Amino acid sequence: MGENILEIKNINKHFPIKSFRGYGQYVHAMDDVSFSLKKGEVLSIVGESGSGKTTTANVIAGLYEPTSGEVYFEGSLVPRKMHRKKELDYRKKVQMIFQDPFSSLNPTHTIFSILERPFKIHKLASGKKNLRNEISKLLETVGLEPAEQYIDKFPHELSGGQRQRVNIARTFSVNPELILADEPTSMLDVSIRMSIMNMMLDYRDEKGISYIYITHDLAGARYMADRIAVMYAGMLMEIGTAEDVINSTFHPYTKLLKSAAPSPEEGLNRPKLTTKGDIPSLINPPGGCRFHPRCPYYKDECSKEIPGMKEVSKGHFARCIL
Amino acid sequence: MDNNRILNVANLVAGYEIKKGFVKAVDNVSFTLNKGEFLGIAGESGCGKSTLAYGLMKLLKDNALIKSGIINFNGNDIQSYSNEKMNQIRWVDMSMVFQSAMNALNPVLTIGEQLTDAIFAHTNDSKEKAKGRALEVLKLVDISADRFDSYPHQLSGGMKQRVMIAMGLILKPDLIIMDEPTTALDVVVQRTIIEKIQDLRKEFNFSVIFITHDLSLLVEISDKLAIMYAGKIVEYGKASDVFLHSLHPYTKGLMNSFPSLTGPIKRMGGIEGKPPDLLNPPEGCRFAPRCEKAMEICFKEYPKTYVKSDKHWVDCHLYNKEGNVNG
Amino acid sequence: MLGDVFKLFIENKKAALGLCILLFFVTVAILAPVIAPYDPKVNKIETIEILDTDRGRNKTVEREKIDEFNERRVYTQEVETTYEKNTKKFPLNSPPSSDHFFGTSHAGQDLFSQVVWGTRITLLVGLVTGLFTTVLSLTLALLSGYFGGIVDDIISLFTNVFLVIPSLPLMIVIAAYITVKGVFPIVLILALTSWPWPTRLLRSQVVSLKNRDFIKVSRSLGEKHSYIIFREMFPNMISLVMASFFQSTMGAIMGEATLEFIGLGNVSIVSWGTVLYWAQTNGALLSGAWWWFLPPGICIALIGTSFALMNFAIDEISNPKLRKR
């Protein structure tokens, strides 16, 4: 670990609403999101639906253009419009794994033709026999062996876990520097999740890849990540090492997440949740701190101004006035 | 017959008729449930838990059917009931909360109409009385009365699920079967709904069968836990027993698949492989191909049940009659 | 993949039946010169028998002409051939018989030959129009759905405007202005009025496919647009494109018949529509000459059925829930 491989500064992403009724309004998917990631580090972004975590990944992957703010990769600014060569280079280094293993694979292509694309696009190998060899090796790396059994099948002939392994194989094939994993295990059976998560960790240990691991599951984040960032309603609320965020939880929202997460060790007599209410609309988010309508520590100033990120302890920041 | 016992399922076989044969999604399943008890059924995709849920309510349709076995509910053998007779029981004595409220609620009717429809279908209540009951039950699930005339799309996911629970409660049944009711919801919403269910249980003392793949959640909220694998219940007992003293290798594997928020961070195992094809299930124990502790006999013979203590049993060759661990 | 889809298609009973009917008519169209006993437009058979020349009936006649001005005689020779001409006129307006399987028209033309030869024009117009419309609408749909933005706005604007114009009146207006002979104007008219609907349909599918994860993955891998459109999206659209093709073709066949029937097409060509036109203008319905309008009507219905069956089969194949277990 050393320098930053990724740094995003004050990213806003607002989607314009195109329907007749909502015309002129925006969905504030991301507001003032900033963080950095060191080489070889795993950062987990935790949040519920509407938190902006998936949008963040899409912006970093270059699938969405930010409304404002900058993305720095390996120290240099990533321009909005890149010409082909630079774009290919970026896409080789920054890869994304999606949540739904089935819809991430083209149902009309065999595993072979799906996996040969990265090789062909980035000119990493050629020749049918050569490609087949490389792809077979790749399948074995992700635990799909013997490769012959899988290479000519169609996605619908594989199970959910197998499909996700194919997706992961695809990301690994270009030897990326940064992998964005958007809830890669939430649609898989419980018993399979662990092996997928372990596989990703092994790969990091072997190749020194950096990860951004997006999840709604705080315990999963703790297992995978060095640092955890908590997002709520499009804004970053708390960020720090996994231990700090989970054991020295600062932000009231993170405390809420912690108390809501299943924890079998604590048994039946857990204290009840003290917070009511739902996630706010992103079209007209609450003024000031977005969590203030639900916060048990609410003070007047919370609804007036958005709090800045305050350093609670070394490397541990929270967006709260407390 | 135990007066406290509300449900007794014995040797239930249910599944799907397809061209190639009969898929036994529920293969010789037996368990019991007492009044006011919370039974959690844990299992992954394809283990047959949804078929079991629908089967208990006799809601299996088309090519899905109950082949054999006994379902004794409140002292009556309902497996032989006709649809008309079942209609009298459904919603009144036993009800169901479905997975994915989005698909279970009619998008063109208000939630008030759907609640009162349920009442009209089973009672002769007047319009006012029905509305009154509907409002009552909406209050129970923390939905304000002014939402009575809302359409499903105007409610959030959590609210819709609470409407489903309200519908399950509206005729005050003795048993509510919940099939993955919180799977599609955010963790905070899930927690609020679980708490609500517990509160309502304390007040009305109904039994719950809660089906999900989220074992860590079940351990927290269930009285009894049944672990299903490939159409069979492989372990059953008090939730704390099954969690702290897991017997079946599959249960142990599942418990080892949930990272925790407390305690040291260590590598966890999960379980390799995938469940068997239920059309032609393997002979012997179905978990044997994936089991670390599998012995020769596991592939040949289905294990006899070993009863560890009152209410904790397991189907595994690792334990013989005396409780000595084999192999 | 395509091979599998084709196999599924053939195995489906509906598709097999529909395909058989279509192939039957295609065969009839191809083999028309062989199958049709007579030329569709003639109403008589003339046989000429040249009489025996030996008996001197074929003679050379010499004629003399006196040219007084130039004081000379001019001789011309002509050969006269004597022959017998047997004209067998077809019966007028007669019901089916062994000579005329579908009977004859008011003018004595053999209706069976007309229907057989008409198959060519009808199928040609239908399939060419169907193909043209499908290719055009697919192209527009891919461009507007995939690229979005201003390209989408412009194409959608045109599509929506043309969609709103009622097609039959538009057809009539265009037909009234075209003076070119032949079949091509009909193809043009039909294509111009039927492209908006499939374009909209296909565009919706393109838009929904574009948001599927595997397309996002392709983009994030750096795939070129052309590859994504033709190799990633298009294979997922095949069933809809095929269904659209069948609908367009059927629509074109009906459209051609309609145009001919109301007299706006080219009534000198022979197609099922023109047979119906002549039947109608000669009061076949009123005079009870069922053999005139029933066969072309049944043929149109059969082709329609064949396309409908194949369409059902495609629906079943692409939506597994519709398949019978």
Among A210, A209, A290, which Cα is nearest to A47's?
A: A290
d(CA C57, CA C51): 7
* Residue C76 is assigned to a structural domain of this protein: yes
Backbone φ and ψ of A231, nearest 5°: -115, 145
Structure tokens at B254: 């599942």
Q: Is the dihedral of CA B230, B235, B237, B239 positive or negative?
A: negative
CB contact under 8 A, C220 and A92: no
Gap from A74 CA to chain C (nearest CA, Å)? 18
User: Contact, A17 vs A28, CB < 8 A?
Assistant: no
pLDDT for A242: 92
Eight-state DSSP code of residue A303:
G
CB contact under 8 A, C217 and A170: yes
**Domain of C78, in residue numbers:** 56-89
d(CA C237, CA C239): 6
Measured at the CA of A142, the angle between CA A139 and CA A144, to 5 degrees, comes to: 55
d(CA B302, CA B317): 8
* pLDDT tens sequence across A126-144: 888 888 999 999 998 888 8
d(CA C175, CA C177): 5
- What pTM was computed for the model? 0.79
Residues C71 and C118 in one domain: no
Residues C82 and C105 in one domain: no
Which residue in chain A has the smallest CA separation from C236? A108
Residues C220 and C250 in one domain: yes
Eight-state DSSP code of residue A43:
E
The residue written with tokens 């889809």 in the block is C5
Gap from A222 CA to chain C (nearest CA, Å)? 27
pLDDT for C58: 65
| Amino acid type, A184 | P
Eight-state DSSP code of residue A45:
E
| Helix/strand/coil (H/E/C) assignment for every residue in chain B | CCCCEEEEEEEEEEEEEECCEEEEEEEEEEEEEECCCEEEEECCCCCCHHHHHHHHCCCCCCCEEEEEEEEEECCEEHHHCCHHHHHHHECCCEEEECCCHHHHCCCCCCHHHHHHHHHHHHCCCCHHHHHHHHHHHHHHCCCCHHHCCCCHHHCCHHHHHHHHHHHHHCCCCCEEEEECCCCCCCHHHHHHHHHHHHHHHHHHCCEEEEEECCHHHHHHHCCEEEEEECCEEEEEEEHHHHHHCCCCHHHHHHHCCCCCCCCCCCCCCCCCCCCCCCCCCCCCCCCHHHCCCCCHHHHHCCCCEEEEECCEEEECCCECCCCCECC
Backbone φ and ψ of C107, nearest 5°: -95, 5
Q: Taking residues A90-115, report their average pLDDT.
A: 90
Decide if C221 touches A, using CB distance below 8 A: yes
d(CA C282, CA C171): 24
Residues C166 and C315 in one domain: yes
pLDDT at residue A114 is higher than 90: yes
d(CA B75, CA B66): 19
User: From the CA atom positions of chain C, what is the Rg in Å?
Assistant: 29
CATH number at residue C310: 1.10.3720.10
* pLDDT tens sequence across C13-65: 888 899 999 999 999 999 988 888 888 888 888 887 777 655 555 677 788 88
d(CA B322, CA B304): 12
The residue written with tokens 């051939």 in the block is C81
Burial class (CB in 10 A: 0-12, 13-18, 19+), B91: buried
Per the structure, the count of domains in chain C is 2
- Across the B:C interface, residue pairs with CB atoms under 8 Å apart total 3
Backbone φ and ψ of C74, nearest 5°: -110, 130
Closest residue to B213, CB basis, from A189, A220, A270: A189
Beta strands in chain C (DSSP E): 44-50, 59-67, 72-80, 83-89
Residues C76 and C174 in one domain: no
The residue written with tokens 């079942």 in the block is B86
Q: Check whether the bond before A146 is cis (ω within 30° of 0).
A: yes
* Residue C49 is assigned to a structural domain of this protein: no
Eight-state DSSP code of residue A292:
G
Average pLDDT, chain A: 88
User: Contact, A3 vs A172, CB < 8 A?
Assistant: no
pLDDT at residue A268 is higher than 60: no
Closest residue to B191, CB basis, from A49, A222, A273: A273
CB contact under 8 A, B220 and A272: no
Decide if C325 touches B, using CB distance below 8 A: yes
Residue C46 vs residues C38, C50, C84, C86: alpha-carbon distances, Å: 12, 13, 10, 6
Half-sphere exposure of B286 (CA within 13 A, CB side): 21
CB contact under 8 A, A122 and C223: no
Interface of B with A (CB under 8 A): 44-45, 156, 158-159, 186-192, 195, 213-217, 219-221, 240, 243, 253-254, 256-263, 265, 267-272, 274
Half-sphere exposure of A31 (CA within 13 A, CB side): 24
Q: What is the dihedral of CA B178, B180, B186, B191, to 10 degrees?
A: 40
pLDDT at residue A284 is higher than 80: yes
Residues C140 and C29 in one domain: yes
pLDDT for B199: 87
d(CA C229, CA C202): 13
- Regions of chain B short of the pLDDT cut 70: 1-2, 101-102, 321-327
* Residue C205 is assigned to a structural domain of this protein: yes
pLDDT for C205: 92
Residues C166 and C298 in one domain: yes
- Regions of chain C short of the pLDDT cut 70: 1-5, 52-58, 181, 319-325
Beta partners for residue B273, in sequence order: none
Residues C246 and C170 in one domain: yes
Residues C82 and C38 in one domain: no
Decide if B21 touches C, using CB distance below 8 A: no
Among A121, A51, A128, which Cα is nearest to A90's?
A: A121
Decide if C324 touches B, using CB distance below 8 A: no
CB contact under 8 A, A198 and B217: no
Residues C203 and C119 in one domain: yes
Burial C79-116 (b: 16+ CB within 10 A, else e): eeeeeeeeeeebeebbeeeeebbbbbbbebbbbbbbbb
Confidence tier at A211 by pLDDT (50, 70, 90): very high
pLDDT at residue A25 is higher than 90: no
Q: What is the dihedral of CA B315, B319, B323, B326, to 10 degrees?
A: 180
Own/partner contacts of A167-170, CB < 8 Å, gap of 24 or more, are A167/A97, A167/A98, A167/A101, A167/A104, A167/A105, A167/C217, A168/A97, A168/A142, A168/A196, A168/A199, A168/A200, A169/A115, A169/A138, A169/A139, A169/A141, A169/A142, A169/A144, A170/A114, A170/A115, A170/A117, A170/A118, A170/C217, A170/C221
Confidence tier at A1 by pLDDT (50, 70, 90): very low
Residues C113 and C256 in one domain: yes
d(CA A25, CA A53): 21
Backbone φ and ψ of C117, nearest 5°: -65, -35
Ordered structural domains, chain A, with CATH: 4-108+154-318 (3.40.50.300)
pLDDT at residue A84 is higher than 70: yes
Decide if C212 touches A, using CB distance below 8 A: yes
Last residue of a domain, one of C89, C111, C142: C89
d(CA C158, CA B115): 47
* Residue C51 is assigned to a structural domain of this protein: no
Among C258, C202, C269, which Cα is nearest to C234's?
A: C202
Residues C260 and C286 in one domain: yes
All residues of chain C having their beta carbon less than 8 Å from the beta carbon of residue B19 are 325
Beta partners for residue A180, in sequence order: A96, A212
* Residue C258 is assigned to a structural domain of this protein: yes
Structure tokens at C10: 């053939």
